Structure 1
Amino acid sequence: MLIMSLLLKQVAGRANFIFAQSSVARSESLRLYSTPAFQYLKTELAGEKKNVALITLDRPKALNALCNGLMKELSDTINNYEKDEGVAAIVITGSEKAFAAGADIKEMQPNTYAKCILGNFLNDWTRVAHCQKPIIAAVNGYALGGGCELAMMCDIIYAGEKAKFGQPEIALGTIPGAGGTQRLTRVVGKSKAMEMCLTGNMISADEAEKMGLVSKVFPSDQLVSEAVKLGEKIGTHSQLIVQLCKESVNTAYETTLQEGLKYERRTFHATFSTADRKEGMNAFAEKRKPDFKNE
């Protein structure tokens, strides 16, 4: 009986240990990357409900120049926040002096054509553009070259009043390589995109807003908090429907009008199979706030 009693205690103890481990795993899965250790980034959860992920580029001595290490950390961070059900939106920002002053020229300088082709250089720099969750760029200071391209990969750009945007690659004997000639043209039109890419000239935040590159301009010290507020506003809606809506807008950006209209209509139809569409319309009819379950 004594041996049996000891065995039962061991089994019970092991079961409690496994349960405790699984509880910790579940808890950690709810807040992936809440306490990361990075070389080139700072991350935190912002907003009243801590449901907005704030990623700060942190290479101050290099004006946040985008090196491979920084982009790898950014990609990994996006991967994890995308899986975190508690995160409704993501904000990417830099310092007041620079969002990102371009790609790291010293790192790129030794490259050859063969190395670029065989290594598919810059192919893995586009993770931000493929994120399912909304990403807001909060741009203070310089957003040049790769920095401007990174901002354009985001879904919405808010700018500080002293922000500067530009594609100066032409002065280095090369061209934009991460979407500068493509996304910029779609946003501001051929003439303006040609002017920026062929001269390398910078434009101000006010010019960028007039051209449609930037959604809104704020005083520099209010920029990040305003971007977080925007993320919080997005977070009040069904995350399921937000993701479907983002996909539909991106389809307009990337396809013909007729293809886009068909995609939008079918996606609209698809929302009628969700519990959140039913809850949203019921709440409207009953004059109350909806309680979305992301289902």
Structure 2
Amino acid sequence: MQFLRTDRHGPVQTIWLNNPPYNFLTDAVMGELLDLLRDIDRDDEVRAVVLTSAVDDVFVSHYSVSEILDGVEAAPVALNSRTAGAALRMSTLADHVPGGQAGLARAGAGGVANLRRYHEVCRLMRESSTVFIAALNGRALGGGCELSLACDLRLMADGPFEIGQPEILVGIIPGGGGTQMLTRVLGAGRALELCLEGAPITPSRALEIGLVHRLIDPDELLTEAQTTAARLAKRSPTAVRGIKHAVYQGGSTSLEKGLHIERAQFLTAASTPSAKRAMATYLADVESTIDAGRDMSDFVADSLPGWIDGTKVDFTE
């Protein structure tokens, strides 16, 4: 791979984005990432992924503006919401026709496929039973912020870095899912503020509003992300997928529909052999604690962290 570096330690795979000096996202970068994510999705041994950057102090500057400009300049006509929707539908249909995307590219609609490829990367990450952790080692703007939003957890280096959605400053809007994922992570008010202002925010402000989960010393960021990934890799993949589906899909619909999704995912996870073994073992421990006259609160305090770390139960299937 030209733009990615990878390393694997047990169930944790680390991916470094490597397009110096600014680590712009391009169609070529996203193509490599999509291929790699598809491979990971088929590999049951990979349970957690750390996504970071090989460029010092830069996670991703943003998506390549030159590629965006080339894409819209190649279009035969100016698009409005109706014609843009038609172009997206044509691009989807072209996936099922040999040479269809190449034909659209020759007709000046290649940028539509590039946009859909970016969204496919984000979809794979959010629907996967694998935990994705973004280790933001520096600047994360535009498409870089959006790529981090597709991850389940975001750890950011504490330093003079920037994160945000500056697209409006050049007259466009976030195109990699930023308006939708920000709304779901931060709420409509914060999402509107970030997208309308366009001004990047500091890591400390990002932590304050919930855009990132933790700030880490830059020298410890990768180690902390990989340690977190190794811990979460012990979780049941069925439960991980169920939680992600219930939060990402159920959380963006009505409460009634969301609860239906949660119920379905709960029953699915509870029916797995590993969950049945875990619950049976837990009940046996509880019964022995009660028989010994121990206080239940002491049992939970002493025992549960061990369960979470997988020392008492095999969380793999």
Question: Scaled by the length of structure 1, what TM-score is found?
Answer: 0.80
Higher mean Cα deviation, 87-96 or 189-198? 189-198
The answer to whether the aligner puts 1:42 opposite 2:5 as a matched pair is: yes
Q: 1:153 corresponds to which letter in structure 2? A: A
Higher mean Cα deviation, 264-273 or 72-81? 264-273
The answer to whether the aligner puts 1:146 opposite 2:143 as a matched pair is: yes
The answer to whether the aligner puts 1:51 opposite 2:11 as a matched pair is: yes
- Contact kept, 8 Å, 1:67 with 1:107, in 2: the verdict is yes
Which among 118, 121, 127 is matched to residue 125 of structure 1?
Answer: 118
Q: CA deviation at 1:248?
A: 1.7
Which secondary structure state, in structure 1, belongs to the residue aligned with residue 257 of structure 2? Answer: helix
Higher mean Cα deviation, 113-122 or 68-77? 113-122
Counterpart in the other structure of 1:224: 222
Q: Percent identity?
A: 35
Counterpart in the other structure of 1:33: none
Q: CA deviation at 1:263?
A: 1.2
Which secondary structure state, in structure 2, belongs to the residue aligned with residue 60 of structure 1? Answer: coil
Task: Give the distance between the partners of 2:270 and 2:191, measured in 1 at CA.
Answer: 40
Counterpart in the other structure of 2:70: 110
The answer to whether the aligner puts 1:289 opposite 2:312 as a matched pair is: yes
Q: CA deviation at 1:278?
A: 0.8
Task: Give the distance between the partners of 1:197 and 1:242, measured in 2 at CA.
Answer: 30
Counterpart in the other structure of 1:176: 174
Distance 1:129 1:229, change over 3 A: farther
Q: CA deviation at 1:85?
A: 1.6
- Contact kept, 8 Å, 2:169 with 2:198, in 1: the verdict is yes
> Whose radius of gyration is greater, 1 or 2?
1
The answer to whether the aligner puts 1:70 opposite 2:29 as a matched pair is: yes
Which secondary structure state, in structure 2, belongs to the residue aligned with residue 109 of structure 1? Answer: helix
Counterpart in the other structure of 1:98: 58
Task: Give the distance between the partners of 1:142 and 1:191, measured in 2 at CA.
Answer: 23
Which among 227, 230, 233 is matched to residue 231 of structure 2?
Answer: 233
The answer to whether the aligner puts 1:189 opposite 2:198 as a matched pair is: no
Q: 1:128 corresponds to which letter in structure 2? A: C
Counterpart in the other structure of 1:165: 163
Q: 2:43 corresponds to which letter in structure 1? A: D
Tell me the matched-pair count: 253
Q: How does 1:190-209 map to 2 (within 5 A)?
A: 190-209=188-207
Deviations 1:49-74 (CA, angstroms, capped at 9, x unpaired): x211100000122x110000000001
Q: CA deviation at 1:208?
A: 1.0
Q: 2:8 corresponds to which letter in structure 1? A: L
Q: CA deviation at 1:233?
A: 0.9
Deviations 1:163-212 (CA, angstroms, capped at 9, x unpaired): 42111111212111111222112222333322221221011111111111
Task: Give the distance between the partners of 1:194 and 1:247, measured in 2 at CA.
Answer: 25
Distance 1:203 1:293, change over 3 A: closer
Q: Which structure 1 segments of 5+ residues have no match?
A: 1-37
Task: Give the distance between the partners of 1:135 and 1:129, measured in 2 at CA.
Answer: 12
CA RMSD for the aligned pairs? 1.9
The answer to whether the aligner puts 1:260 opposite 2:258 as a matched pair is: yes
Q: 1:82 corresponds to which letter in structure 2? A: D
Task: Give the distance between the partners of 1:267 and 1:230, measured in 2 at CA.
Answer: 24
Task: Give the distance between the partners of 1:259 and 1:51, measured in 2 at CA.
Answer: 33
Question: Scaled by the length of structure 2, what TM-score is found?
Answer: 0.75
Q: Which structure 2 segments of 5+ residues have no match?
A: 77-83, 88-108, 286-310
Task: Give the distance between the partners of 2:194 and 2:177, measured in 1 at CA.
Answer: 13
Counterpart in the other structure of 1:11: none
Distance 1:82 1:142, change over 3 A: same
Q: CA deviation at 1:293?
A: 4.3
Task: Give the distance between the partners of 1:199 and 1:291, measured in 2 at CA.
Answer: 48
Task: Give the distance between the partners of 2:150 and 2:139, measured in 1 at CA.
Answer: 16
Task: Give the distance between the partners of 1:225 and 1:283, measured in 2 at CA.
Answer: 33
Task: Give the distance between the partners of 1:86 and 1:76, measured in 2 at CA.
Answer: 17
Structure 1 runs of 4+ aligned residues shifted over 4 Å read none
Task: Give the distance between the partners of 1:194 and 1:237, measured in 2 at CA.
Answer: 35
The answer to whether the aligner puts 1:251 opposite 2:249 as a matched pair is: yes
Distance 1:257 1:58, change over 3 A: same
